[in-house]
Structure 1
Amino acid sequence: MNNFDEQPRRVINADVGLNRFLTKMYGWMALAVLISAVAAMFASTTPELMGLFAGHYAFLPLIIWFAFPFIVTSQAMKRPSLSFVLLMVYALLTGGILSMYALVYTGTTIASAFVSSATVFIVMAAYGAITKRDLSRVGAQATAALIALVVAMVINIFLHSSLIAYVFSFVGVIIFTALTASDSQKMKKIYLQSDGSSTSTTGLAIIGAMQLYLDFVNLFLFMLRIFGGAGNRD
């Protein structure tokens, strides 16, 4: 056996496996976004569904919405198929909840925010997957900043300052821009450290798709608040 041929062969196999993993992860994330977009458009034109998300029991979809990501990620490595279905159901529910923004913002504002968010996301996700720079510190700092932002946003609920809320929107965009890149790199590293089995790869792809989907949704919501300065119907 020619030992000189083994190392290049291993590298090629690793690259092929990584490419398959990234394609699966980003593909499922994109599918979730598509489902949310379609669900949002459908719900915004269906009064019965709008009533579900805006009525007296609107807190029920919100509770489920906050709980689902934990369920999806906890089941990903044990039951990948179930976790994938739950991810798509979560995307469907998110679309219904996001349809409420059609009551506040114009279609042009929503479309502008979506295109801007998608552009930023694609660029930063690609950067995170390609760059050799270690982004783990960036991710840790962004996570700490996110916690501080959430606390500040809760405080601003009582202050009712639209200016502070507007500034927070820019901070949120910066945070989730950084998280998109760091999460992309983190999932790549986790895959390279995994055993490469089919179940492991599928589970990790679902976890990554869930995390990146949340990054995109939050990025979109903050972008929407920024663009909403000109498109608000109030």
Structure 2
Amino acid sequence: MLRAPKASFLESNMADFNTISANAGSRSAAIDAGLRAHMNKVYGTMSIGMVITAVAAWAIAGLATTTDANMAAAQLPNGKLLTSFGLVIYTTWLKYVIMLAPLAVLFLGMGTVMRRASAAGAQLFFFIFATLIGLSLSSIFIRYTGHSITQTFLVTAIAFAGLSLYGYTTKKDISGWGSFLIMGVIGLVVAMIVNIFLQSPALLFAISAIGVLVFAGLTAYDTQNIKNEYLAHAHHGDQEWLAKSAIFGALNLYLDFLNMFQFLLMFMGNNE
């Protein structure tokens, strides 16, 4: 007679425990599924941005160069022939506008877009930025051979995939890398400005090597940061914020990939 109430009490508590465990498990599963969808959106948006950049760079380079001597407006020291369009964008003051336009859009527009724009607006901003980057990068098709550009891109893609996977899966907190890596970026900018005047091949090689290491670290750091931001805000259920977060996460990884590619190209590419 004394055991029945006890059994009933245990069964009741066990049922409550199972319910709590089931709810916790379902929440955890929902967060895991949401994180996978979030990261897929990040990588998907980044990939579209890279395609836009590549197509824009290739198209602009195609318009700027020619193989027909009768249509050429100028000839470069490496034998490449420029059209009138190429002559304007590569040899006049306009080249500085093209070079600096992506930086202006990025630094002047990012804060405003993050605060005021919708997720769709933020995505449009990213794709416009990717197009401007393609315009500014089109000159690599004149400076380097197509084989070296393709080879460097594949090496960058493999390295990026491995580094991003590490940042996503590692249990180690690498948030402490952030300040060190940002200092590295600032140091690279200063060194590149100095080398404009020095024109030192040794310094250029050092800049290239350090640049690859800095942006390799940033790839892992940014990936973990994107993951942690999602986990910290997923329970709020603000889908608009999460959508914009995925776009700006894609922008960060896009910049990591792009910079790593350019630094690798500096000493891997066959310069014409």
Shorter-chain TM-score: which interval?
over 0.9
Between the two proteins, the alignment pairs up a number of residues equal to 231
> Aligned residue for 2:170?
131
Structure 1 contact 77–204 (Cα < 8 Å) conserved: no
**Once the 2 structures are TM-superposed, how far is the Cα of residue 180 of structure 1 from its aligned partner?**
0.4
With over 3 angstroms needed to count, the CA separation of the structure-2 counterparts of 1:51 and 1:187, relative to structure 1, is: farther
Cα distance between partner residues in 1 of 2:97 and 2:194: 24
Aligned residue in 2 for 1:224: 265
Matches within 5 A, 1:35-54: 35-47=52-64, 50-51=86-87, 53-54=89-90
1:167 maps onto 2:203 in alignment:
no
Hey, what's the Cα distance between the residues in 1 that align with 2:125 and 2:264?
Answer: 27
Distance of aligned partners of 1:121 and 1:53 in 2 relative to their CA distance in 1, 3 Å threshold: farther
> What CA distance in whole angstroms lies between the structure 2 residues aligned with 1:101 and 1:107?
9
The runs of at least 4 aligned residues of structure 1 exceeding 6 Å deviation read none
Alpha-carbon distance change, 124 to 49 in structure 1, aligned in 2, over 3 angstroms: farther
Structure 2 unaligned runs (5+)?
1-15, 65-83
CA shift digits 1:165-201 (9 cap, x unpaired): 0121011000000000000101111111122321011
Please give the TM-score of this superposition, normalised by the length of structure 2. Answer: 0.80
- Among residues 142, 158, 162, which one is paired with 1:103 in the alignment? 142
Verify: 1:75 aligned to 2:116, yes or no. Answer: no
Q: Give the TM-score normalised by the residue count of structure 1.
A: 0.93
- After superposition, where does 1:1-234 map in structure 2 within 5 Å? 2-47=19-64, 50-51=86-87, 53-54=89-90, 55-70=92-107, 71-72=109-110, 74-76=112-114, 78-79=116-117, 80-194=119-233, 195-228=236-269, 231-233=270-272
Q: Is the 8 A contact 1:77 1:200 kept in 2?
A: no
Identity rate of aligned residues, in percent? 32
Distance 1:121 1:49 in 2: 35
Structure showing greater Rg: 2
Q: How many Å apart are 1:39 and its aligned residue?
A: 1.1
Stretch deviating more after TM superposition (142-151 or 26-35): 142-151
Indicate how the Cα distance of structure 1 residues 34 and 226 shifts in structure 2: closer, same or farther if over 3 A, else same.
same
